Amino acid sequence: MWVATIHNAREIIREIQEDTPSLTDDRIRHRWKACLRKAHREAEGDRNRDIPPIGLSWEEVFEVPYTLEGK
């Protein structure tokens, strides 16, 4: 389930970028920390528990192939 969710989210972001040329990778990178904090809060709410903060780089989220192996 998580693998499909990650892949789908990546595709949706790319589709939004195609429809909104001003939403460049540079613009997203500029807002990266704020977006990550928001996603963290949403995950805590969805799971109804505290989750330790993690740092994810742009590459980890958008470029590295995501699998459940080793997780």
Q: What is the pLDDT of residues 39-67, one digit of tens each?
A: 889 989 998 999 888 777 878 888 888 77
pLDDT at residue number 39: 85
CA dist., res. 51 & res. 66, Å (int): 20
Does 69 reside within a domain? no
Number of neighbours of residue 66 by Cβ within 10 angstroms? 18
Q: What is the pLDDT of residue 17?
A: 92
CA dist 66 and 6 (Å) reads 7
pLDDT of residue 40: 87
What average pLDDT does the segment 10-34 reach? 89
Distance (Å, whole) CA 26 – CA 23: 8
Q: Quick one: tokens of 18?
A: 């195609």
Does residue 29 lie in a domain region? yes
Number of separate domains in the chain: 1
| 37: in domain | yes
Question: What is the residue range of 52's domain?
Answer: 2-62
